[in-house]
Amino acid sequence: MLRNDEDRDEDQDEDGGDEDRDEDRDEDRDEDEGCTEMGLALGHEKLRVYQRGLDYASWTHSTLAHIEQSAGVLDHWDRAAESIVENLANGNSRHAAADRNRYFDFAFGSALECAACLDICVCKKLITIDRQDEGKAALQQIVNMTIGLRKSRSSYVKEEREEYIAGQNDEIYFAHEGLDVYKIALKLIVWFDGFLDVTDLGASYATRLDKWTTSLVLNIAEGNGRFSEADPVRFLDIAHTSAMRVAACLDLLVARRQVKVHQIEDGKQILARIVPLLLGLRCYLDEQADQG
């Protein structure tokens, strides 16, 4: 049966519709490929410091996987390692210098927090000194490169080498490690672990004291490296609060007859050295702010 011209015209229209749909599918594929290419070309992925941050986060994850004991510092360490990566990505994506620097400051502070976590882990005998040095060497590179990014005026990828002064001394990697108050705070960590070994505090008190002694060390370290004038004061205040909580908790343990006075004497003496140093640093920062 022969079809009329109108039937043939309708068939052609239908065929043309198929061609249009094929073109639409091709365009969809092109758009998908374009999205993939854009994803691979995100600016922060080109940063060497970002790749170093990923390597360090992976190293941290692997190290934590081999630690069987539990301690509050381990969660801090894991989150701080991830924070380095997240804030480097965020900082590089911002146009305004103030926004960029704010995120780079966060990354810098997280790197210092990671370094302090390594110190605490050594004090608690959770990692070896060799492992500590390996981690700090990686963090020092990240800090150097982050400072370079912070000083860069470019809107996007531009990395400059910047030497972190503390790294020139083989004995310390970061400036906070030279502070007397930081060194003494680490002694409190060592004392606390020994205190736990000879007492039966129960989970509640042990967890709280672990949290506050860890907070004391981490906030001294992170506050000392911040660029904003307000940040060091805020971190020192948190460290001071943590120290006083530890002191009060030890007194409560004695008052409730869970420990003897002589068992907390060494810890209280360490705290008696820490608190005046924190207050002295706080006064110094206030004076600097008044002069500025």
Q: How confident is the model at residue 39 (pLDDT cuts 50, 70, 90)?
A: very low
- CA-closest candidate to residue 112, choices 243, 240, 190, 220: 220
Span 11-25, average pLDDT: 45
Distance, in Å, from the CA atom of 239 to the CA atom of 30, rounded to the nearest integer, reads: 55
The superfamily (CATH) of domain 42-175 is: 23S rRNA-intervening sequence (1.20.1440.60)
- Min mean pLDDT across 18-27, 40-49, 118-127, 231-240 is at 18-27
The superfamily (CATH) of domain 179-292 is: 23S rRNA-intervening sequence (1.20.1440.60)
C-alpha to C-alpha distances, 19 to 7, 31, 276, nearest whole angstrom:
19, 18, 81
- Min mean pLDDT across 31-40, 179-188, 227-236, 282-291 is at 31-40
- What pLDDT, on a 0 to 100 scale, did the predictor assign at position 229? 62
- Return the top range by mean pLDDT from 21-25, 107-111, 148-152: 107-111
Q: How confident is the model at residue 95 (pLDDT cuts 50, 70, 90)?
A: confident
87-123 as b/e, with b when 16 or more CB fall inside 10 Å? bbbbbbebeeeeebbbbbbbbbbbbbbbbbbbbbbbb
CB of 77 closer than 8 Å to CB of 115:
no
Query: pLDDT above 90 covers what percent of the chain?
Result: 62
- Min mean pLDDT across 5-14, 152-161, 165-174, 279-288 is at 5-14
- What pLDDT, on a 0 to 100 scale, did the predictor assign at position 27? 40
Distance, in Å, from the CA atom of 137 to the CA atom of 141, rounded to the nearest integer, reads: 7
Q: Look up the pTM and report it.
A: 0.80
What are the pLDDT digits (tens) for 139-173?
Answer: 999 999 999 888 775 444 444 444 444 444 457 89
Instruction: Give residues with Cβ within 8 angstroms of 70, minimum separation 6.
Output: none
Give the residue range(s) of CATH 1.20.1440.60 domains in the chain. 42-175, 179-292
Tell me which of 22 and 185 has the higher pLDDT: 185
Distance, in Å, from the CA atom of 190 to the CA atom of 18, rounded to the nearest integer, reads: 76
Span 212-220, average pLDDT: 97
The dihedral formed by the CA atoms of 153, 157, 161 and 165, expressed in degrees to the nearest 10: 70
Span 208-233, average pLDDT: 88
- What pLDDT, on a 0 to 100 scale, did the predictor assign at position 175? 92
Span 17-27, average pLDDT: 45
